[in-house]
């Protein structure tokens, strides 16, 4: 993951969104909502997102998330595994 530290990735994996800024937390909540079935972005979440992002930015963010969701589901159909480009290193 580009731009994230090992600690930030660990926080994501543990659902510790409070370790991120308010706009990052809103975006993480959007990402969680977009991978659900059915997809449901609540009015509350949308209002929070609009505090941090323009309508145009939200359109682009939703499109990016949809593309990644498509890619991930495609990979599952064809059993495409990880190339292990990222893994956390144990503490020294």
Whether 1 is covered by a domain: the verdict is: no
Assess if residue 83 is contained within a domain: no
pLDDT in the model for residue 64: 92
Q: Structural domain of residue 52, as residue ranges?
A: 6-77
The predicted structure's pLDDT at residue 1:
42
From first to last of its 92 residues, what are the pLDDT tens digits of the chain?
468 888 888 888 888 999 999 999 999 999 888 887 888 899 999 999 999 999 999 999 989 988 988 888 888 899 888 777 666 656 55
Report how many domains make up the chain.
1
- The answer to whether 31 touches 41, Cβ cutoff 8 Å, is no
**Is the residue at 92 inside a domain?**
no
Q: Does residue 32 sit within a domain?
A: yes
Helix ranges restricted to H, the chain = 6-13, 22-34, 43-52, 55-77
Q: Is residue 18 assigned to a domain?
A: yes
Assigned token pair, 47: 């209002």
69 contact partners, CB below 8 Å, separation of at least 6:
34, 35
């Amino acid at each position: 993951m580009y731009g994230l530290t090992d600690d930030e990735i660990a926080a994501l994996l543990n659902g510790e969104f409070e370790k991120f800024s308010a706009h990052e937390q809103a975006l993480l909540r959007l990402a969680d909502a977009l991978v659900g079935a059915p997809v449901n972005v609540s009015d509350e979440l949308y209002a929070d997102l609009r505090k941090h992002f323009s309508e145009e930015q939200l359109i682009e963010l939703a499109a990016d998330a949809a593309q990644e969701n498509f890619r991930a589901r495609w990979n599952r159909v064809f059993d495409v595994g990880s190339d292990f480009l990222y893994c956390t290193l144990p503490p020294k």
